[in-house]
């Protein structure tokens, strides 16, 4: 049976969700999607980058990921709105809930895009194109925002198809359409071809996906190693990955944060690390796992990045233990330069019931008691809110006691303080 895979991508997701909320719940008169607008972080908190942009802003060459300062230089009248991740999570759930009505095999690839395996559903819903249009229209009519739907035999081509003309479109990219629809595109449009790879390919005289597809594979292996083989397969429409409705087990857990000010004292940096250890430990415990490798990353005020890791004798998810190892790694890594960004990352994830090997150097530490304490704190925070229990060292500190991930100021917006036009 011929496989049928959909890739559904929300058009300008954060900006679209913000626009719909303002129009239908806050009485806005203007639609952000029709304005030269963008969703951007808080420059005062040093999160000042463009997170999403409207289609009209493209004519000013405004790009996702660039700084707000750069975007303002290109377009001084750019209309900026703050991010609201709490709203985005609710919109994402509503969008995914609709998809589950059409197939049990839905893989959420990110907050604003999903894959669906629609193989064999033609007798239930009709042709792939008709079904895709039904889904697209339902999302627009019921939720107020638009999506693009790509259709093909595999995930790669479905994703490529959804990136064709936007917004609110359905596109197919079957194998017999590759030469016509995909091969003329710039090689940078191919999934997995970043800027560095694009430069290497152009140096080889390869500027389109079609040229890449026809290049001798040995040449690509010589210049790009294994990655050359992967992108050659993609250029030829080859992909054997399946839609995974159940998410894969995490290979690592981590969090990082950009600090609102340059940190020049080790004690302050270790306070930030404690806040990160709190969130990383909470995530590990919620998943019922422990980590055997802990790493610390530092980005200084010159944007230079360095990291250092350590393999532990015993896997752990205890906040105090994670922080202790992170502080040791920090002392070994930090060169004294002002710190802009800190992170804690873990890997070699083990089952939460992994036995602890007895260590003669810490026999006085009651790990069972520490695990019980963390579990109790997690339960209280889950029931009464994340601020219901806070370590005393954070009470009068400018450091958020639960740092990393989506920062607090991005989780909600006080719209009463904004001018809604």
What are the residue numbers of the active site?
Answer: 113
Could you tell me which residues come within 8 angstroms of residue 369 by beta carbon, excluding any fewer than 6 positions away? none
Q: Are the C-beta atoms of residues 229 and 217 closer than 8 Å to each other?
A: yes
237 — alpha (psi -120 to 50), left (phi > 0) or beta? Answer: left
Q: Which of 349, 343, 241 is nearest to 293 (CA)?
A: 349
3-state secondary structure of 355: coil
Strands of the 339-351 sheet, one edge to the other: 254-263, 339-351, 289-300, 305-316
| 59-71 as b/e: b if 16+ CB within 10 A | ebebeeebebeeb
- d(Cα 395, Cα 401) in Å, to the nearest integer? 8
- d(Cα 142, Cα 367) in Å, to the nearest integer? 51
Ranges of H-type helices in 128-263 = 128-138, 155-162, 178-181, 195-203, 209-214, 217-235
Q: Are the C-beta atoms of residues 206 and 224 closer than 8 Å to each other?
A: no
3-state secondary structure of 116: strand
Q: Which of 56, 54, 49 is nearest to 71 (CA)?
A: 49
- d(Cα 419, Cα 207) in Å, to the nearest integer? 46
């Amino acid at each position: 049976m011929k496989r049928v895979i959909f890739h559904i991508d929300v058009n300008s997701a954060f900006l679209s969700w913000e626009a719909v909320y303002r129009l239908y719940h806050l009485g806005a008169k203007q639609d952000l999607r029709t304005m030269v607008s963008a969703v951007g972080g808080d420059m005062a908190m040093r999160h000042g980058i463009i997170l999403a942009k409207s289609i009209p802003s493209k004519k000013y060459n405004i790009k996702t990921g660039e700084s707000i300062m750069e975007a303002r230089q290109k377009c001084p009248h750019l209309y900026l709105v703050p991010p609201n991740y709490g709203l985005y999570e609710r919109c994402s759930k509503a969008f995914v809930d609709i998809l589950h009505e059409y197939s049990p095999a839905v893989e959420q690839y990110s907050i604003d895009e999903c894959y669906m395996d629609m193989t064999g559903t033609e007798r239930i819903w009709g042709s792939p194109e008709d079904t895709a249009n039904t889904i697209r229209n339902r999302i627009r009519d019921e939720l107020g925002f638009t999506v693009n739907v790509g259709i093909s035999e595999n995930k790669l081509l479905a994703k490529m198809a959804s990136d064709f003309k936007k917004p609110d479109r359905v596109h197919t990219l079957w194998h017999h359409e590759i030469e016509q629809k995909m091969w003329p595109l710039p090689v940078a449009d191919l999934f997995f071809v970043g800027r560095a790879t694009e430069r290497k390919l152009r140096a080889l005289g390869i500027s389109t996906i079609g040229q890449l597809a026809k290049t001798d594979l040995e040449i690509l292996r010589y210049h790009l190693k294994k990655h050359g083989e992967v992108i050659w397969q993609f250029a030829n429409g080859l992909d054997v990955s399946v839609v995974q409705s159940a998410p894969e087990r995490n290979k690592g857990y981590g969090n990082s944060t950009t600090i609102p000010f340059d940190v020049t004292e080790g004690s302050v940096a270790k306070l930030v690390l404690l806040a990160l250890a709190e969130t990383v430990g909470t995530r590990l415990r919620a998943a019922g796992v422990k980590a055997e490798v802990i790493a610390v990353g530092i980005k200084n005020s010159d944007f230079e990045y360095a990291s250092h890791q350590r393999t532990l004798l015993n896997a752990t998810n205890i906040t105090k233990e994670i922080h202790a190892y992170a502080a040791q790694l920090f002392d070994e890594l930090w060169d004294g330069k002002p710190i802009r960004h800190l992170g804690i990352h873990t890997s070699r994830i083990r089952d939460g019931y992994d036995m602890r090997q007895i260590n003669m150097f810490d026999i006085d530490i009651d790990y069972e008691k520490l695990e019980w304490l963390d579990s109790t704190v997690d339960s209280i925070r889950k029931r009464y809110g994340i601020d219901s229990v806070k370590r005393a060292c954070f009470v009068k500190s400018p450091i958020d006691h639960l740092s990393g991930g989506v920062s607090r100021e991005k989780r909600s917006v006080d719209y009463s303080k904004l001018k809604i036009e």
